Chain A
Amino acid sequence: MDAIGNLLLGFSIALTPVNVFWCFVGVLLGTVVGVLPGLGPPATIALLLPLTFKMDPTTAIIMLAGIYYGAKYGGSTTSILLNVPGESASVVTCLDGYQLARQGRAGAALGIAAISSFVAGTFGVLGLMFIAPPVAKFALRFGPPEYFGLMVLGLTMVVFLTGRSVVKGILATLFGLWLAGVGTDVFTAESRFTFGRMELLDGIDFVIVSIGLFAIGEVLVNLESKTGAEIFKVPKGLRNLLPTLRDLKDSRFAFLNGSVVGFFIGVLPGAGSTIASFLSYGLEKALSRRADKFGTGVIEGVAAPEGANNSETGGALVPLMTLGIPGSATTAILLAALHLWGFRPGPLLIQENPNLFWGLVASMYVGNVMLLILNLPLVPVFAQILKVPYFVLYPAIFGISIVGVYSVSNSLFDIWMLGVFGLLGYLMRKLDFPSAPLVLGMVLGERLELSLRQSLMMSQGSLSVLVAGPLSAGMLIFAGLLLIMPMLHRVRSWRVKAVEQEV
């Protein structure tokens, strides 16, 4: 088969000592960048661009891509151990991962995150290799109405994230949607809720909200505890240091879910890994037998989103390589790098530069293997972080968060915002408001409003455009079904109870 032949060509390029070395540098750097909150792959790649001018372009892109997917591996570490999302896509991992850590199963969580990342990352590469052109064509059918359908589908996941009180979950989502609206209106260039502040012209950075709500909020809540903050049980014994066979069995659907959802979302320009991880988590919960346990420390609640954000990198490279269209911030800068090295990314890139493309694809296999080998043995090491006494750990969390946020924009205003959202996170915990829906609302809100208004603009105000196409109608119907499903469960259990009573 043609692809196999090309893949062998790719391996012959990827496995040269130089390329293996730089692949390793890339994935290592990526892991570090992923662990540190604030600093992300786009900025790191930008910093390293001058270095790449002296390298062979294939080697350079191998390294830069390594940073890209390496960061997705690293992001889960602080999410699980400290409830600090290292990367915006790792926010969902905090939900169950942190709970697992509190139960002494940090090792299992970290391990399953690494394994799921590996499985899904490899799936992403396979997808890039075999089905890139048809998938890219399919993705072109997604116009604004289809994006709207997808966002509505994502928002229905709120139903699965609300915990005990649906009303509070909805309120949190609405607040998140409002936060997404702060900034500049895309269509009229008018400022919304910026209170005259230039720093708010581009809206509120999601990273700040997630770190504030989760990390700072968590620390504040724990500080209040009169018995002195609980020190987490450090996992002892191999059983808790790595995922058990039981865990792997529980997660088998999550591996598939994460891989497929992540890849397809990645192909869509504009939908990123955060959306992919939320959708994957929601889908996993929707189709799970123990849905109500999600949020308390369910292993597949870590496996699904972690897989999704990794296969998303493979997906995001599809439009870049097949059409020259960047799908995310990181692929945008990879596109810029390709330009600077003299390539003309477009539909003919793969044909004209087979060495570059197949060398890159093969290196992604290599990189994923390297990352698995890097991360798994380090799991027990990382888990020891939990041994650190709270009076060292909490200031450290504060410190990492503040430095991370400051490193993004060098703005003290952002630090104030971090404090505000930290307080909000604290309040929400005390009042039993779930924070995941707020984050979901914020992530999806921007794209939801954008695609709704784009659709209406295109149809001159007619709402029917949203159900005109089969894809968008299908997604809206599916979302409707998902909303009704919990009620069906209730009806069924009510009927079972009624029957039981009769008997």
Chain B
Amino acid sequence: MKLTRIYLTAAFVLGCVWSLCDRVWGFEPTKPVELVVHTGPGGGSDIFARAITEMIGKEKLVPQRLQVINKSGGGSAVAMAYLAEKKGDTHTIGFFTGVWVTNPLTRKEASVMVKDLTPIVRLVLEPAVVAVKADSPYKTMKDFVEAAKKNPGQLKQSGGSVTGRDNLARLVIEKATGAKWVFVSFPGGGERIANLLGGHVQMMVMEPQEAGEHIKAGNLRVIAALTESRLPSFPNVPTIKEQGIDVPIIPQARGVVAPAGVGGDVVQYWEGVFSRFVKTPGWKKYLSDNQFEDGYLTGNNLNRFFDKLTVQMRGILKEAGVKVVR
């Protein structure tokens, strides 16, 4: 009898300790974690997620395997809807980009918005540069803008979707300078560069690491950096503001969100993982190799970032005449 009492007490105590442990050590994944991306294999988000998976694995920051899940379709609509379905799931996270904010604004079917999900961390800001062919007559952004003003609608820019950052950059520059030129959408990144190299278009907004190799080979020239301050890899290229064109810099952000309805301990866990992750030398090397800006942001600042970005995007899109549904 006495023994039973002892056992019961021991069990009770152990139970308390166990739950306290959980409180102290919090959540930890106990099975493989899904990383949801909105592109197919080989797309920007896919590569980003896989690189991060590799780095996290090397640093052993997460005790379970991370598996990239491609949920492409409708911009980010399918991926976001998938995350919305996974409400409360503690073993799923998603990689967002700017598209996750703008997509629901223009597409009726994309009903899930970023604020319906749980933001965890913003990791990078991708800067952009304005590139032209090396043998073109435009040596500065001013040259291009002047030429566009003289021949409205004659100059052409290749880019992606009309709601993408490259077209939005064009819209804000057009508004600020009064110049007008044509935007031609190409679904694939390769084609955009091919058309620039082939002389079918005159200008392209691209990521610095895309441009880097072609500049080294002498095919392209960068005439402006669409950033607040000069890029370390292009110290001689003035920013757009330095050249007298005062436009808001539209960031292309990348980061992590979790489904709605996950507990505070889960959020804390992931925030903890990524706060350690961004301090690793491997991550710092990745940032410099790819010429990303460290965009580390979390918590309430991150929520404010999303709100601000949504309002900004809505404004720009409306002004551009794109139908805004939300």
Contacts and interface: CB of A to CB of B under 8 A. Distances in A.
- Is chain B a partner of chain A in the same complex? yes
Interface of A: 42-43, 45-46, 49-50, 53, 139-144, 184, 186-191, 194, 196-199, 201-202, 269-270, 319, 323-327, 329, 331-336, 339-340, 342, 344-349, 409, 450, 454, 457-458, 460
Nearest to B196: A140
Contact of B42 (A53, A202, A332): A332
Interface of B: 40-43, 46-47, 50-51, 53-54, 68, 70, 72-75, 77-78, 81, 106-110, 153-154, 156, 161-163, 182-191, 193-195, 197-201, 209, 212-214, 216-217, 219, 289, 322-323
Contacts of B162: 187-189
A336 B46 contact: yes
Nearest to A42: B41
B185 A143 contact: no
B41 A348 contact: no
A140 to B, nearest CB: 4
A342 B51 CA distance: 11
Contacts of A197: 109
Given A53-B54, A325-B194, A346-B213, A191 B109 contact: yes
Query: Which of B51, B163, B193, B216 has most A Cβ within 10 Å?
Result: B193
19 contacts: A139-B194, A143-B198, A188-B162, A189-B161, A191-B108, A198-B74, A198-B109, A199-B73, A269-B190, A323-B193, A323-B197, A326-B188, A332-B42, A336-B42, A348-B217, A349-B213, A454-B186, A460-B153, A460-B182
B200 A332 contact: no
B107 A346 contact: no
Contacts of A325: 189-191, 193-194
A207 B141 CA distance: 45
B148 to A, nearest CB: 13
A42 B40 CA distance: 9
Contacts of B51: 340
Query: Which of A198, A344, A409 has most B Cβ within 10 Å?
Result: A198
Contacts of B289: 342
Query: Which of A140, A189, A327, A340 has most B Cβ within 10 Å?
Result: A189
A340 B47 contact: yes
B129 to A, nearest CB: 15
B220 to A, nearest CB: 10
A50 B194 contact: no
B198 A142 contact: yes
B46 A345 contact: no
B194 A323 contact: yes
B42 A189 contact: no
A186 B158 CA distance: 13
B54 A184 contact: no
Contact of A450 (B110, B161, B187): B187
Contacts of A324: 193, 213-214
A201 B74 contact: yes
A345 B213 contact: yes
Contacts of B70: 43, 46
A202 B41 contact: no
A348 B217 CA distance: 6
Contacts of B193: 323-325
B73 A46 contact: no
Contacts of A340: 47, 50-51, 54
B74 A184 contact: yes
B184 A348 contact: no
A141 B77 CA distance: 35
Given A336-B46, A454-B186, A50 B54 contact: yes
B104 to A, nearest CB: 12
Contact of A269 (B68, B194, B216): B194
A142 B73 CA distance: 28
A201 B188 contact: no
A458 B217 contact: no
Given A139-B194, A199-B73, A454-B184, A194 B109 contact: yes
Given A46-B41, A329-B40, A458 B74 contact: no
